[in-house]
Amino acid sequence: MRYKNKRTLQRKILLCLIMGGISALASEPELADTLRIGLQDAILLGLKNNPTVAVKRLEPKIMETYVKEQKGFFDPALEISGTQSQNKSQRLLGTRPTPVELQDNRSNYSLQISEILPTGTAVTASTGMTGALSNLYTDQFSGTIGLTVTQPLLKGFGFGVNLASL
């Protein structure tokens, strides 16, 4: 009988431990990964984490970049160029028995700015200078200034055509 009481006692202790563990789990506070929020907060959180909404939020910035890119077509363009050369040679002049050394320095510089207007008009202003220096001949210099205005009559004429991409 003593053995039977011992076994019963063990069962009762085991049952108490199990029941105590279950009741401890039942009275434990909510899990850490659950969040109690209201309906409005739940909707706002859902919208914030929605990838489609996140992409839609970026669309105005994407369009702003596109507009800037298209307006870049109408930005003025500056072109600067220049060349310089030096030539040394010897020449026989007339009946002289010794050759004469000829030094020739040439330079050419130009500057041009051009812009396309929203009407399709292309405007170009340019300037340039050319010079030749020589120890044998007279020095020569020339300069140019130019303005060119081109207005297409059919293709690319008017605001609608040129601003359509904006």
Q: What is the CATH number of the domain that holds 153?
A: 2.20.200
Residue 15 falls inside a structural domain: no
Residue 143 falls inside a structural domain: yes
Could you tell me where the beta strands, DSSP code E, fall in the chain? 77-91, 100-116, 122-134, 140-150
Parent domain of 153: 76-87+99-162
Query: Are 162 and 119 in contact, with CB atoms under 8 Å apart?
Result: yes
Structurally, the chain folds into a number of domains equal to 1
- Mean of the pLDDT values across residues 52-70? 86
The pair of three-digit structure tokens given for residue 112, joined into one six-digit string = 């041009």
Residue (of 82, 62, 59) closest to 70 by Cα position:
62
CA distance 153 to 122: 12
Residue 49 falls inside a structural domain: no
The pair of three-digit structure tokens given for residue 97, joined into one six-digit string = 């028995």
Instruction: Check: pTM over 0.85? Answer yes or no.
Output: no
Question: Could you read off the pLDDT of 27-42 as tens digits, one per residue?
Answer: 555 556 777 888 888 8
